[in-house]
Structure 1
Amino acid sequence: MFKHIGYIIIAICCTGPVLGQAPQPKPNIVVILADDMGFSDIGCYGSEISTPNIDRLAREGLKMTQFYNAGRCCPSRAALLTGLYPHQAGLGDMVKYKGSPAYQGYLNEHSATIAELLKEQAGYNTIVSGKWHVGLQKSALAYNRGFDKSFTMLNNGSSYFNSAPLYNDGSKITFMLNDQEITRNDTSKYLTQAITDFAVKSLEEIKNDQKPFLMYVAYNAPHWPIQALPGDIAKFKGQYLEGWDALRKQRYKKQVALGIIKKSWALSSRDKRAPAWDSLSEEDKEKWDTRMAIYAAMVYRMDACIGEIMAKLKQLGKDKNTIILFASDNGGSADEVRSLKTVIQKNGEPGSVNSIDSYEIPWANLSNTPFKLFKRNTHEGGIATPLIACYPGHIKAGSTGSNVGHLIDLMPTCLELAGVTYPAQFKNRELTPLAGKSLIPVFTGKKNNVERTLFWEHEGSRAIRKGKWKLVAEPKQPWELYDLEADRSEMNNLAAKYPAKVIELEREHKAWADKVGVVDWERIKDL
């Protein structure tokens, strides 16, 4: 399958001795995950934000245009790490127990992580740096889930400059260095840089080790609070005075030109909760420009830090046998943090440690171009993610793939790359069979005519995609049916036209939901 050398980058990364050729050294695997970054927020997927390092990965590798996440941080991370649907791994929702095994709030004993299997069965060094967020119980922490070296944040978010509380409920922000809690104060490094520095330092520490490595880099950026380095914000200030209406059109045109979307897919309408840009006062335009400049600065700094990791791999001579995968955990977030009573409010200098803010619905609508809705929703705006896989010499440079994939596919992909078979048991634990499929055929350009069926459920938002058809519904709303070959922007609801297809797909979704343990969200909220 793959030739001899190269590296892959996909927002999630893997490499391995695959493809039936002569034995090769097991590949290094680097998986990079962004947090709350929309489908169009990097240059190679349509953005005006400067992301030269991620764009380079795309030029030298493969861009997948119909790849999916699980709609929110905890579920997506569980899916990525285990190859299972979130409910199967115990994280059907977030990290609080919700009354059933599928919603226990931490990785369960019937799941294994990529790190556990590659460490135990293929002798990999294993490193994680960044947001963990798959459970607060000791059994679910990174150092007990296969990672030799770990710098992790256990919560959903944090200040980018310290570990002060974000919420009014008394809960703390917990950072861990391996098995020890640590505190980040106001003099700490910017979080994106701290995550990168630990990753780079860990690579330096194993540079003379002949064993391959798996490194999972889970950035918190660009999750709120929107905070960035002053010099980075200055690069973008004023660039967003054009407004979201004009910029959505610009991104859409660029996406069509890049082959990310079909010209026949319409640009979805501006979200009805967002005002027309031209209706705003000059003062308001200035405030909104600042918000998006901060967000863009966060994406820009993440890209620069990914460049540091790429440079370290090259310096150590590891780049030729490393696969890098890059993705995002969900679509852009519509959270309006300033209206949340649960969040500690800080109204200092925008973008600084003294400010707690988000970029809200109008800019999230830009992030998710051309799709509608957001993080937590199972419409395309919530679950579509970029996936870049870079492996020069193995994956055709500059290629674009329209195959359907999901974060659950990363575990089987990495296992195949490392020459590992997923076991029925691990450390005396019965494992749930994998839900994902290896992406190696996609990476090697093989035609795949097998109709893929994928499922989603998060807090009552639910969907099934089977071939070209997608059935989707938000909480307490009726099912909507879309032909994604003709209308991936989900503008033309065909439920009334094809009632038999609705019934067919609804039954299939119900069977899956029963299998993985989905519980009606309205009932869960009352538990």
Structure 2
Amino acid sequence: MPGRLGGSRRAAIIITGALIAMTPAQAQRAPSAPKHPNIVILLADDWGFSDVGSFGSEIATPNIDALAKAGMRFSNFHVAGSCSPTRAMLQTGVMNHRNGLGNMPETIPDAHRGKPGYDTVMNLRVVTIAQLLKAAGYRTYLTGKWHLGSDAKRLPHARGYDRAYSLADAGADNFEQRPIEGMYDSAAWTENGKPATLPKDYYSSHFVVQRMIDYIEADRKGGKPFLASINFLANHIPVQAPDSDIARYSSMYKDGWTALREARAKRAAALGIVPAGVPIVTMPTTPDWKKLDADERAAAVRVMQAYGGMATAMDREVGRLVAHLKATGDYENTIFVFLSDNGAEPTNPFNSLRNRLYLDMQYDLATANIGRRGSFAAIGPGWASAAASPLSGYKFSATEGGLRVPLIIAWPGHADIRAGGISNGLAHVTDILPTLTELAGVPGHGGSWQGKAVEPVTGRSLVPVLNGQPGSVHGDAPLGYELSGNAALFRGDYKLVRNLAPTGDGKWRLFNLKVDPGETRDLAAAEPDRFAAMVVDYRAYAKANGVLDMPAGYTADEQINAYAFEQQGKPRLIRLGLWIGAVVALLSALVWGLRRRRRTRRVDQAEPDMVGA
């Protein structure tokens, strides 16, 4: 009939109108909503246990806290005591001595170099999460710090990542393409395996998020789900942040690290992260705040203000990524994982005259410049102890402050993950891979991959915990750990631990972490049977994983200094020696030439007299 539309024509007009009304992002995603969830891994560098607001910090981290509210916090989650071993375990679900990171290139003693399990790079006998997800139809991306190998076979693009803009080193400058002076010759940034140049307006946290957004959008039309592994440089040395972020903390930290450590312990207890009233210790390496002079205090306050600013700058970028995913409709179908690679960094780069003199030639070390472009700063053991509060120790050690870090897992559109929940059951970084593959519905490899045997995954899925199961997926099974001679074995609520100097004395101790996460009361004498049984468990772990004893007198700090000298100091001294030798040779040649000309002139002047005679 005239004036009326047929059913098919009317439907076409309705559909066309709906498409016109959509935003460009909605129109792009409508035909191809991913079947599997997207996955975003947010890996912080050197954040202590209580450096996140929702774990007790005074630092402003509202966007990470929002993920905690939308998901679950793990208050008893453990990693390695330094970055590369953790990163390799996160990528593979395999313990560090089995994946090649028995030690890092910067901290391995010469006697261990090249031994089985001590490759200092992620070996080729493991399968990464990127390889597993890519085989299942995912787009796979990585930005930021890699530190798992720099050759063509070991960079991210060769380990399953479709696109990767990565740094092969332990750290680098946050404002320019500059290495950590004295450690590396250059900042080894690559994109898809080829040397890359950072933009002029580069700031690390902003850049790694923006590049990830660019990668996600570049491939959106393909309609595949994505894995986005964002590996921040914050808050690794050098501590640097935008001026406005540092200024945010201008009135804070003037009471020192001991007061901050106590305040954080109280907030963590109030939040339910640790039991109320847990005893805490003062580390022997923590300086007495009251004995610092005015200049020392001013510099210490400023560096912690910069540290807070660096963390807040990173959190803002997390928020920008989340806002983008909300705008594109991806947010509720995305699993977020936030964690730190180890505890807070205690190293004081200025603890030797040689380091101080060298760094003073390379950077502007004025107190007013701390944290800014051209600066070099680190929080040192005092603030690192506060960052780990209420735990003892920090990075490199096997103390809880070195191994226990914040973990948040959120899937905003998934009702089975208890929003705002806290799990206090033991969890481990190797558990992340099997958790994500189970949530994504992606099969594992079972010890065989593409026709060859590979290292089997040792982690256990945390999905039961995410679904509300109390306790730990590890039950009473022993879980061993070793790095640089610092070692631990977890079993149920108990921890057997040994730390070498400067954190410990090399003796084994036993703690009940449920009631004493600060490791203040050694139970070795009170529970000798348990102690002896756990020592046997550790020896079995060490034998199965090829753990080597450390050379006498070894410390990670001294080994890092030796590495820096071998990599940079020694070559520079050789170049300096060659330069001095060349200058001396040139001056010698000039002197010899002048003397020769003078002798020749004297002879020429003397010859007429001789003829006249």
2:378 is aligned, of 358, 362, 368, to 358
1:46 pairs with 2:46:
no
Q: Quick check: 1:95–1:133 contact (8 Å CA) kept in 2? A: no
> What amino acid sits opposite 2:43 in the alignment?
L
Residues 454-508 of structure 1: per-residue CA shift (max 9 Å, x gap):
2210100000010011100012611011111221110001112222222211111
> What amino acid sits opposite 1:150 in the alignment?
A
1:501 is aligned, of 523, 530, 537, to 530
Between 282-291 and 67-76, report the one with greater CA deviation.
282-291
Match of 1:62 in 2: 72
Write the distance in 1 (CA, Å) between the matches of 2:63 and 2:298: 29
Residues 195-274 of structure 1 correspond to what in structure 2 (within 5 A)? 195-266=208-279, 268-274=280-286
Higher strand share: 1
Report deviation, 1:274. Answer: 2.4
Match of 1:435 in 2: 458
> What amino acid sits opposite 1:522 in the alignment?
P
Report deviation, 1:191. Answer: 1.0
* Partner secondary structure for residue 338 of structure 1: coil
Between 312-321 and 90-99, report the one with greater CA deviation.
90-99
Residues 397-416 of structure 1 correspond to what in structure 2 (within 5 A)? 397-416=419-438
Match of 1:161 in 2: 175
* Partner secondary structure for residue 128 of structure 1: strand
Specify the structure having the higher radius of gyration (Cα).
2
> What amino acid sits opposite 1:103 in the alignment?
Y
Q: Quick check: 2:163–2:192 contact (8 Å CA) kept in 1? A: yes
Match of 2:288 in 1: 276
Q: Quick check: 2:478–2:537 contact (8 Å CA) kept in 1? A: no
Write the distance in 2 (CA, Å) between the matches of 1:101 and 1:128: 28
> What amino acid sits opposite 1:421 in the alignment?
P
Query: Could you state the TM-score of these two structures normalised by the residue count of structure 1?
Result: 0.91
Match of 1:453 in 2: 478
Q: Quick check: 2:70–2:411 contact (8 Å CA) kept in 1? A: yes
> What amino acid sits opposite 2:374 in the alignment?
N
> What amino acid sits opposite 1:40 in the alignment?
S
> What amino acid sits opposite 2:115 in the alignment?
S
Write the distance in 2 (CA, Å) between the matches of 1:367 and 1:502: 30
Report deviation, 1:194. Answer: 0.8
> What amino acid sits opposite 1:464 in the alignment?
L
Write the distance in 1 (CA, Å) between the matches of 2:281 and 2:62: 30
Residues 27-50 of structure 1: per-residue CA shift (max 9 Å, x gap):
111111100000000100000011
Residues 44-84 of structure 1: per-residue CA shift (max 9 Å, x gap):
00000111000111111111110111111000000100001
Q: Quick check: 2:278–2:516 contact (8 Å CA) kept in 1? A: yes
Q: Quick check: 1:264–1:487 contact (8 Å CA) kept in 2? A: no
Residues 480 and 126 (structure 1), Cα distance of their counterparts in 2 relative to 1, 3 Å cut: same
Write the distance in 1 (CA, Å) between the matches of 2:439 and 2:465: 13
Write the distance in 2 (CA, Å) between the matches of 1:226 and 1:192: 12
* Partner secondary structure for residue 425 of structure 2: strand
Match of 1:102 in 2: 117
1:347 is aligned, of 364, 375, 383, to 364
Write the distance in 2 (CA, Å) between the matches of 1:233 and 1:520: 43
Between 256-265 and 346-355, report the one with greater CA deviation.
346-355
Write the distance in 1 (CA, Å) between the matches of 2:185 and 2:490: 38
Write the distance in 1 (CA, Å) between the matches of 2:546 and 2:452: 19
Report deviation, 1:164. Answer: 2.2
Report deviation, 1:170. Answer: 5.7
Match of 1:381 in 2: 401
* Partner secondary structure for residue 129 of structure 1: strand
Write the distance in 2 (CA, Å) between the matches of 1:524 and 1:421: 46
Residues 523 and 247 (structure 1), Cα distance of their counterparts in 2 relative to 1, 3 Å cut: closer
Q: Quick check: 2:75–2:406 contact (8 Å CA) kept in 1? A: yes
Residues 133-172 of structure 1 correspond to what in structure 2 (within 5 A)? 133-168=147-182, 171-172=185-186
Match of 2:509 in 1: 480
Count of residue correspondences: 500
Report deviation, 1:277. Answer: 2.6
Residues 211 and 263 (structure 1), Cα distance of their counterparts in 2 relative to 1, 3 Å cut: same
> What amino acid sits opposite 1:178 in the alignment?
N
1:180 is aligned, of 171, 175, 194, to 194
Q: Quick check: 1:68–1:385 contact (8 Å CA) kept in 2? A: yes
Write the distance in 2 (CA, Å) between the matches of 1:55 and 1:103: 37
Write the distance in 2 (CA, Å) between the matches of 1:282 and 1:39: 29
Higher helix share: 2
Residues 264 and 239 (structure 1), Cα distance of their counterparts in 2 relative to 1, 3 Å cut: closer
Residues 91-120 of structure 1: per-residue CA shift (max 9 Å, x gap):
111137813120111111210100001101
* Gapped regions of structure 2 (runs ≥ 5): 1-33, 107-111, 560-613
Write the distance in 2 (CA, Å) between the matches of 1:250 and 1:483: 23
Write the distance in 2 (CA, Å) between the matches of 1:242 and 1:175: 39
> What amino acid sits opposite 1:422 in the alignment?
G
Report deviation, 1:342. Answer: 6.6
State the superposition RMSD in angstroms: 1.9
Match of 2:313 in 1: 301
Q: Quick check: 1:99–1:524 contact (8 Å CA) kept in 2? A: no
Write the distance in 1 (CA, Å) between the matches of 2:334 and 2:442: 17
> What amino acid sits opposite 2:441 in the alignment?
G
Between 136-145 and 358-367, report the one with greater CA deviation.
136-145
> What amino acid sits opposite 1:377 in the alignment?
S
Relative contact order higher in (CA < 8 Å, ≥ 6 apart) = 1
Write the distance in 2 (CA, Å) between the matches of 1:376 and 1:208: 44
Match of 1:520 in 2: 549
Q: Quick check: 1:58–1:389 contact (8 Å CA) kept in 2? A: yes
Q: Quick check: 1:95–1:135 contact (8 Å CA) kept in 2? A: no
> What amino acid sits opposite 1:520 in the alignment?
D
Residues 172-195 of structure 1: per-residue CA shift (max 9 Å, x gap):
22001112112337x341111111
Write the distance in 1 (CA, Å) between the matches of 2:553 and 2:167: 27
* Partner secondary structure for residue 151 of structure 1: strand
Residues 295 and 170 (structure 1), Cα distance of their counterparts in 2 relative to 1, 3 Å cut: closer
Write the distance in 2 (CA, Å) between the matches of 1:50 and 1:170: 32
> What amino acid sits opposite 2:378 in the alignment?
S
Match of 1:16 in 2: none
* Gapped regions of structure 1 (runs ≥ 5): 1-23
Write the distance in 2 (CA, Å) between the matches of 1:44 and 1:89: 32
